Amino acid sequence: MASLSRLDRVRLQQFLDRLSESSPGDFSSHVPAPEILRDWSQKIGSLGSQEDHDRLQRENELLRDVSNRLALGLDTEQLSERIMDALGALVRHDAAGLYLVRNGRIIWETLRGYDTENMHLVKSKLDRGLMAWSGMQRCSVRLGDVLDDGRYLNVRNQTRSELVVPILLEGQLMGFFNLEADQVEAFSPDDQYLVEVFAGQVALAIERSNLLQERMQRRQADQEMEVARSIQRDHFPEDNLSIGDLHIAGTYLTNKQVGGDYYDFFRLDMHRVLVTIADVTGKGVPAALIMTSVRTGVHLLTDQDSDLPGMVKRLNRYLSEITETNVFVTLFCGIYDTRDASFTFVNAGHNPPLVLQQDGSTRMLVDGGLLLGSFPGVSYEQGQTTIAPGESVLFYTDGISEALDAKEEEYGDARLLKSFQRHGGKEPARLLMCLLNDLQDFVGNSALASQTGDDLTLVVMHRARKEEA
Amino acid sequence: MTINERKEGDVLILSLKGNIMGGPDADTFYNKVKEELDGGCRKIVLDLSGVKLMNSSGLGILIKTFKPVKEAGGDFFLANVSEKIDSLFMITKLYTVFTAFDTVDKALEAFQA
């Protein structure tokens, strides 16, 4: 059974320790590993099949250890510097390059020993020269005298021998080692073999580093998304609002961290409150970005005169400028005035809010104009109604009416209306809860927003009866 | 979504089948109309009899396709709009810019008038 001598083990350990400690640029010093590996390689080269098996096992252990040390939380730059240090320790050379490639292009190179003025030539090695050949053939190539071989691309005048080894992972080309030396026949078959085995481990190390970086990027993206979610949550009113005998509550659910629905209610002055609900085409981040613009527009364009059609017209023009034609926003906004219980509104292509009347029937708030963001020149008209004592108004986005049950049947406007009629008249926050409970009963056990695949928004406004107030 | 096309005189009739939900299908549809528009066609009927579902992204692509036709001085009529899609056009008030007919023949008649 092949085994390393105690001395070899000590020297090997020194090599590994040196490898893990070596810093970028620590290239010229020579650690004893190549001799160990060479000796070892020669020793096991003559052994039989059991020995071959043991050799492979030992080799794997050795190089797995190298690989572990290489890939420990390093980014591409640190990793490639460490790899080049290890390569310098493994096989003597006068110049070398580590090239990482993806889709036939060099995406990274770490070079040592080349003149800076020839760097542009070095970069053309992937298209011409030995590297091109090696990449095509998926095998390494060793030239004893570069002047004898037409495939050699001269980027370094003093080079006389060259070794190119592809870095392959499951047959996929990940990069190359390119080693150059000033003497002829500088690289032996053992050197070639060692760099080939090393390249196999480097492939794993690079893959691991790539996966690690992807994971870190994903984690960072998740963290950023969490910040975005928190910012968006701050865009919604924190509390329910009461002004005079009017009480308002809203809720928003999304199956992503951010979404394209928006609702808002805020006081314009002592007597008036603005209520808005809007839905942006699509979901996720793109919709959320537009939703932020909608909110900004509503807040900035709503002035004391409260000319709603003018505000919506300006908002439409603005959204038409900043969105693609196929992206649009449906929006409803209205101003309730406690002095006369009037509710003036503009409905820009949004699901009409429902007013539940005392006798259980409903009326819809339709007046307004086209959806926003696609037709910049259009005008809007204003509707007006009076909210009688005891009446409730339901504002919603289509995520509610289009929610599906297990049989993929839609909840639909009719069920929503019935639910509203059943619970209408309750205090808004409680009414919202009842509406959501009915919807939950319909869609089954799944989480509401994930079941619908859309954002869900509900706002309820209720004018108290005299005895309630 | 699949698109079938035929010509009746100078009117291009595009029949859509399946769901209009945005995505790559939407680009195919938009590019088809754009190509016809560049080729000089100004009269288009969109037969929606085979369309089961249309979401807001699908609606967005109809708007995107409709606009260049109108801007080129052409017309883009809808035909055979299902009740559900009809309601979507009603809610969004898109009927203030789109014109719909019960059948393709009625849309063709409107072009003759």
The complex scores an ipTM of 0.92
Q: Is the pLDDT of residue A109 over 70?
A: yes
Confidence label for A138 from pLDDT (cuts 50, 70 and 90): confident
Q: Say which residues have a Cβ less than 8 Å from residue A145's Cβ, sequence separation at least 6.
A: A160, A161, A184, A185
Residues of chain A with CATH 3.30.450.40: 6-215
For A107-130, what is the mean pLDDT?
A: 77
Q: Is the pLDDT of residue A65 over 70?
A: no
pLDDT over 70, % of chain A: 80
- Residue that wins the pLDDT comparison between A49 and A102: A102
For A430-439, what is the mean pLDDT?
A: 92
Confidence label for A35 from pLDDT (cuts 50, 70 and 90): very low
Is A374 in Cβ contact with B67 (below 8 Å)? yes
Q: Is the pLDDT of residue A349 over 50?
A: yes
Confidence label for A325 from pLDDT (cuts 50, 70 and 90): confident
N- to C-terminal Cα distance for chain B? 32
Q: Which of A459, A24, A15, A30 minimizes the C-alpha distance to A247?
A: A459
Topology given in CATH for the domain delimited by A236-463: Phosphatase 2c; domain 1 (3.60.40)
Q: What is the pLDDT of residue A30?
A: 35
Q: Indicate the residue type of B85.
A: I
Confidence label for A304 from pLDDT (cuts 50, 70 and 90): low
B/e letters for A427-447, b = 16+ CB within 10 Å, e = fewer, are: bbbebbebbbebbeebbeeee
| Residues of chain A with C-beta less than 8 angstroms from the C-beta of B94 | 349, 370-371
Q: Which of A70, A69, A39, A41 minimizes the C-alpha distance to A56?
A: A41
Q: Is the pLDDT of residue A39 over 50?
A: no
Confidence label for A208 from pLDDT (cuts 50, 70 and 90): confident
Q: What is the pLDDT of residue A52?
A: 61
Q: Is the pLDDT of residue A2 over 80?
A: no
Which residues, numbered 55 to 94 in chain B, qualify as contacts with chain A under a Cβ-Cβ cut-off of 8 Å?
56-57, 59-61, 63-64, 67, 91-94
Q: Is the pLDDT of residue A446 over 80?
A: no
Confidence label for A443 from pLDDT (cuts 50, 70 and 90): confident
CATH 3.30.70.150, domain A6-215, yes or no: no
Range in A179-188, B14-23, B102-111 the model is least confident about: B14-23
- Residue that wins the pLDDT comparison between A173 and A30: A173
| Residues of chain A with C-beta less than 8 angstroms from the C-beta of B60 | 281, 325-328, 374
Q: Is the pLDDT of residue A43 over 50?
A: no
For B34-54, what is the mean pLDDT?
A: 91
Q: What is the pLDDT of residue A47?
A: 46
Is B92 in Cβ contact with A330 (below 8 Å)? yes
- Residue that wins the pLDDT comparison between B22 and A2: B22
Could you give the strand order of the β-sheet that contains B11-20, starting from the edge strand earlier in sequence?
B2-8, B11-20, B43-54, B75-79, B99-101
For B75-99, what is the mean pLDDT?
A: 93
Confidence label for A45 from pLDDT (cuts 50, 70 and 90): very low
**CA A368, CA A348: separation in Å to the nearest integer?**
5
Q: What is the pLDDT of residue A23?
A: 43
**CA A31, CA A20: separation in Å to the nearest integer?**
12
For A41-56, what is the mean pLDDT?
A: 54
- Tell me if residue B81 falls in helix, strand or coil: coil
**CA A387, CA A464: separation in Å to the nearest integer?**
10
The listed range with the strongest mean pLDDT (A251-255, A287-291, A428-432) is A428-432
Condensed to tens digits (0 to 9), the pLDDT of residues A244-270 reads: 999 999 998 877 777 888 999 999 999
Q: What is the pLDDT of residue A415?
A: 93
CATH 3.30.750.24, domain B2-107, yes or no: yes
Q: Which of A275, A251, A278 minimizes the C-alpha distance to A262?
A: A278
| Residues of chain B with C-beta less than 8 angstroms from the C-beta of A351 | 91
Q: Is the pLDDT of residue A308 over 50?
A: yes
B68 → chain A, closest CA residue: A325
Q: Is the pLDDT of residue A454 over 80?
A: no
For A325-329, what is the mean pLDDT?
A: 89
Residues of chain A with CATH 3.60.40.10: 236-463
**Closest in B60, B96, B97 to A328, CB measured:** B60
| Residues of chain B with C-beta less than 8 angstroms from the C-beta of A282 | 22, 56-57
B/e letters for B34-61, b = 16+ CB within 10 Å, e = fewer, are: eebbeeebbbbbbbbeebeebbbbbbbb
Range in A31-35, A193-197, A351-355, A381-385 the model is least confident about: A31-35
Q: Say which residues have a Cβ less than 8 Å from residue A272's Cβ, sequence separation at least 6.
A: A243, A306, A335, A336, A337, A338
Domain boundaries, chain B: 2-107
Using only C-alpha atoms, chain B has a radius of gyration, in whole angstroms, of 13
Q: What is the pLDDT of residue A83?
A: 87
For A187-191, what is the mean pLDDT?
A: 90
**CA B100, CA B71: separation in Å to the nearest integer?**
19
Q: Is the pLDDT of residue A14 over 50?
A: yes
Q: What is the pLDDT of residue A448?
A: 61
Q: How far is A395 from chain B (nearest CA, A)?
A: 14
Q: Is the pLDDT of residue A172 over 80?
A: yes
Q: How far is B63 from chain A (nearest CA, A)?
A: 6
Is B60 in Cβ contact with A370 (below 8 Å)? no
**CA A299, CA B94: separation in Å to the nearest integer?**
26
Q: What is the pLDDT of residue B1?
A: 79
Query: What is the distance, to the nearest Å, from the Cα of residue B48 to the centroid of all Cα atoms in its chain?
Result: 7
For A12-25, what is the mean pLDDT?
A: 50
Q: What is the pLDDT of residue A46?
A: 46
Joined tokens for residue A285 = 């981040």
Confidence label for A41 from pLDDT (cuts 50, 70 and 90): very low
Q: What is the pLDDT of residue A155?
A: 81
Q: Is the pLDDT of residue A3 over 50?
A: no
B63, B57 contact by CB (below 8 A): no
pLDDT over 90, % of chain A: 41
